[in-house]
Structure 1
């Protein structure tokens, strides 16, 4: 990670864009257009680029926060990478089975028990009636087991969501907000005060 106050290669272009915005500020542009102006816009720009490290030090707090978010959001550079659980076909199949198994088992249990007890009451095909009743109770046991498994899965999923909420990962919006805060601090506390001071500094004569 880069030191706060020293720009990385990625942020050098942002520094130059912010410098362009500072040179376009109304008071600086008006001062440069005065006949008594001691420096030009190009001279101011060259001085700011030379003093880039000093200027960016004024926004070191915001730059450090931006670098921390970038590090946390980059799994390849983070000390303990975070990876969201991929939605695989296996997970989708298990979820479908967890929903369908209790429903189908309940329907099967109801059908088997109704047919079995119906045949038993009618006094016809007693072996078949007994087999249907047994199948119905087996299907009922499957319903109980499936419901227990689904409840366990819900508890585990809720625990994982709570753990993720306690350790939220930076998203694109957070990075964009930190980036905008750094550029604003760079403009207001670094570049504009520096350029205003340099407006009254005549160019150094060539040796």
Structure 2
């Protein structure tokens, strides 16, 4: 279900509106004024109606939303980087790797490979020597060295796996979505956002639910809602008015015509010749 765009709601705040709507529906059974939820309308029907009436609901909190958007825009403008600067210096600072980062990455990749290859070679040669000459002490030394390099390879693989996990967690925590949720907003912006949420819930969503549950036609409207000038979206159709002639305007008189007078010529006797 896609949310209808509203003139009082920016696209970036659409998910927040949907989240507040979902919270209100989850706790609807706890409110005495919404006791009709589930009898006349279920939560999915109410959600459908509210999403189709997004413009109407958000208009109830337009003042608080405008204040919140203004405060947020001022915060973003204040935290934006200065435009003037040397682009070449900035690019070099961004792309330059940290000290030791390249060597650490190379060692993380090469150590398991080299240690594993050495373990295979030493174990293969050592066991061959022991098979050919069991009394030869060099074969036993080669086997011991092979197992040592195998342990080194296993440890290197474990360290590399832990490093990848830590990097993934760090990148996930520093993503824009996580930063937006975790970072502490300034007090003015936080108050403005909370005021908008409260106004949207108390003056927009909950009154809409109460009106929908009190409307006798809400059950039909929730199934196929569409826009209407009323507060609750009404859906349905009325049959065409096939009323009889007595209910409409008086019928105009039908045109009449007479056939031409085709009289036969007078073909009488000589005494009746035409003059």
Relative to the length of structure 1, the TM-score reads 0.47
Relative to the length of structure 2, the TM-score reads 0.36
More helix by percentage: 1
